[in-house]
Structure 1
Amino acid sequence: MAQPLPHFVFGQNVNILLGQHGAQNIGCYDFWKDVKRIEFFEATFPLCQRGIILFVSNDMSYRNAPINLNIGYAPFSIHQGRLVTAGTQLNWNGVLAVANGRPGFVVNYDYNINWTQLPYHQQHYYILI
């Protein structure tokens, strides 16, 4: 069931719906895939200096590091305080069905994952890099 997140955007109050997600491994991969898309965009268009990604979730498990660093999605983790340096290869650990159609890649810049709690809801968080 989706949970509304009231937000003030471009002078209007809007409700952003946050759906319930059960596949955190894919959510983590999709976050880093968006990072790579922005890096590609920046490299393709010289007038673009830097991009931004906003990842909103009410699932606190994203903030936690994987208990087992050998688990398949661990290289894509977006846990609090994670540092990913330029040149890091992000790829699935092992041969996994989830990896089909989701190739690994190398990031071009340094990234520091920092979750911040939104000021008006206890269960909603955002990530910004």
Structure 2
Amino acid sequence: MIEALAITHSLLLGSMLFFAAIVAPSVFHYLPAKEAGVFLRGLFPRYYLWGIVLSLVMTVLAFFVEPWLMVSSLLVLLLFVASRQFLMPAINKYRDLAKQSDPVASKKFARLHRASVIINLVQMLILLNITMYLARLL
């Protein structure tokens, strides 16, 4: 059980790091801005769904290991759900309005985007903490 939990946490953490460090910067480097935006807008729902599925598996597995691991995994899961269902649609809405030169929308977009980055970092820190803990148990 601990091995499966360690694998799922490592897999999700690695996926998130790969997306943040390789995929997103490469998209903006190799694609024109408009196409990059369209591509990422299509990719983010799948990124969040991947996170939801893996963190759901982690939460179930953690239930059988230690309560604090389950609570931590559940927090990661809830943050993915909130990001996908609430934050991402709002980011897209205000990004579209900002493209129409709406200064209020630009500020809201920037604030929401910053919140999504912070949430992602918090999730990665939680996952890193759990992964390091589980590595000591193996």
Shorter-normalised TM range: 0.3 to 0.5
Give the structure with the higher percent helix.
Answer: 2
Say which one has the larger Rg: 2
Question: Higher relative contact order at CA 8 Å, sep ≥6: structure 1 or structure 2?
Answer: 2
Give the structure with the higher percent strand.
Answer: 1
TM-score (normalised: structure 2) = 0.33
TM-score (normalised: structure 1) = 0.35
